[in-house]
Amino acid sequence: MPRKTLAEFKVEHLQVLDENGKLDKELEPDLADGDLLRLYRGMVRARELDQRMLKLQRQGRIGTFGPCTGQEAPSTAAALAMQDDDWFVGAFRELGGRLFRGEPLTNTLFYYNGWEEGNVLPKEVGRRMTPLAVVVGTQILHAAGIGYALKLKGEKAAAVTFCGDGATSEGDFHEGLNFAAVWQAPVVFISQNNQWAISIPREKQTRSETIAQKGIAYGVPCIQVDGNDALACYVAIKEALERAYRGEGPTLIEAVTYRLMMHTTADDPTKYRTKDQEDVWWQKEPLIRFQKYLSAKGLWDDAKEEALREELRAEVDTAVKEFEATAPWPLDRPFDHVFAETHPSIEKQHQEYLAALKEESDA
């Protein structure tokens, strides 16, 4: 009895639309023109808001924020592929998907201005969308739990959750995939591998050749996709969702992309990476190739592009105006939501706080 092989595994890569806009016809998803246009519009909308936020931040009109430029494809494609009843469980670089699901532009502005207001969504939007997850990786477990609940209730719905490449190093990533796998819960795990976790490059984060293969540790089907290719993202996510709806459990998707900007506005990438690397990835960013694809299909031209950009910039303008015209909630709001009902000892502090504020403003 020699060493015998017990099990074999492989990891596949999927690309539908390459960085030059060249399409693999066989793999092209069957999407209506309207959906393709919505997908593009969704990505551009996120880009426009993102870039405007960068300006606002530099002008001191909002606080520190983490741009999503270059990473529009995975979450926007997910939002397109998802049903209303699926849960969107994001990390913090899914602006495209959040907006696509109906989150108002103003929420992001409020949020990054340090207001809890930014987390309060219109009811229908917030119902199955979780707030930004700042503690890296923790949301992955929430998605597994949500998946369990959906399955228990017999709903034909799934949870779609996102995390970065860095997040895959956290224990919660491991526990989340393992729980979901054991439960065969309807969850789609999408790791946006943007090559960096602040200053830590992918090679220092983990020694595995791919992030995708981490699924093997849990018996979870896994695939790597070109994360700047919205069509590939869509195909893989749709497939994973169908599997989830059929009761066949979770999938891990690695979306290979790149963080084109700084980690957050407090970060200076020149400390740790080259302009050259950034330039290479600017060539591969997701919008240009999608625009080429739409043009080749006869769905797009320069005039349409210009009109879209203008329209979206105006929308962002309006949102910024609305944001800046909005009076924040009162200072004592944090006392309202410690618990569903307040407690005498907390209410006492509340009154003390209000009295102190008054005294200070009188002084």
Partner 1 sequence: MPKLTMVQAINLALKEEMARDDRVLVMGEDVGVDGGVFRVTDGLHEEFGESRSIDTPLAESGILGTAIGMAMAGLRPVAEMQFSGFSYLMIGQWEGNATRMRSRTQGQHTCPLVVRMPYGGGVRALEHHSESREATYAHFPGGKVVIPSGPRNARALMLAAIRDPDPVVFMEPKHSYRSFREDVPETEEVLPLGQAHVEREGDDLTVVAWGAMMRPTIKAVDAVAKTGVSIELIDLLTISPLDSDTICRSVQKTGRCVIVQEAPRSFGVASEIIARINDEVLLYLEAPVKRLTGYDVVTPYFGREKSYIPPAARIENGLRETLDF
Ligand X SMILES: Cc1ncc(C[n+]2csc(CCOP(=O)(O)OP(=O)(O)O)c2C)c(N)n1
Residues interacting with Mg ion, by CB under 5 A? 164-166, 194, 197
DSSP bridge partners of 88: 129, 160
User: Under rule CB under 6 A, how many of the chain's residues touch ligand X?
Assistant: 15
To partner 1, the closest distance from the beta carbon of 114 in angstroms equals 3
Q: Which of 219, 278, 322, 342 binds its own copies (CB under 8 A)?
A: 219
Residue closer to Mg ion by CB (options 240, 255) is: 255
Of 22-30, 48-56, 83-91, 269-277: span binding its own copies (CB under 8 A): 22-30
Residue closer to ligand X by CB (options 146, 197) is: 197
To its own copies, the closest distance from the beta carbon of 195 in angstroms equals 16
To ligand X, the closest distance from the beta carbon of 236 in angstroms equals 19
259 is catalytic: yes
38 is catalytic: no
Among all chains, which residue has been given the structure tokens 């102190």? 356
Q: Which of 51, 130, 138, 206 binds its own copies (CB under 8 A)?
A: 206
User: Under rule CB under 8 A, how many of the chain's residues touch its own copies?
Assistant: 48
Is residue 169 a contact residue for its own copies (CB under 8 A)?
A: yes
Q: Which of 13, 22, 336, 351 binds partner 1 (CB under 8 A)?
A: 336
Decide if 96 contacts 72 (C-beta within 8 A).
yes
Is residue 182 a contact residue for ligand X (CB under 6 A)?
A: no
Decide if 50 contacts 93 (C-beta within 8 A).
no
Backbone phi and psi for residue 251, each to the nearest 5 degrees, phi listed first: -135, 145
How many angstroms separate the Cα of 356 from the Cα of each of 45, 327, 343, 352, 353? Answer: 44, 22, 20, 6, 5
Is residue 19 a contact residue for its own copies (CB under 8 A)?
A: no
Is residue 71 a contact residue for its own copies (CB under 8 A)?
A: no
- Rounded CA-CA distance 307/301 in Å is 10
Q: Which of 73, 79, 132, 220 binds its own copies (CB under 8 A)?
A: 220
How many angstroms separate the Cα of 127 from the Cα of each of 89, 97, 130? Answer: 11, 15, 8
Q: Judging by beta carbons within 10 Å of its beta carbon (0-12, 13-18, 19+), is residue 103 exposed, middle or buried?
A: buried
272 is catalytic: yes
List 52, 98, 128, 263, catalytic entry: 263
Decide if 257 contacts 193 (C-beta within 8 A).
yes
The footprint of its own copies on residues 234-253 (CB under 8 A) is: 249
List 272, 309, 333, 343, catalytic entry: 272
Tokens of 21: 């806009």
Extended strands (E) in 222-285: 222-226, 251-256
Q: How many CA atoms lie within 13 A of 193 on its CB side?
A: 25
Tokens of 272: 């740790």
Is residue 167 a contact residue for ligand X (CB under 6 A)?
A: yes
The footprint of its own copies on residues 314-343 (CB under 8 A) is: none
Q: Which of 180, 265, 263, 246 is nearest to 214 (CA)?
A: 180
DSSP bridge partners of 224: 13, 254
Enumerate binding residues for ligand X (CB under 6 A).
93, 134-136, 163-167, 194, 196-198, 259, 263
**Residues annotated catalytic, as ranges:** 259, 263, 272
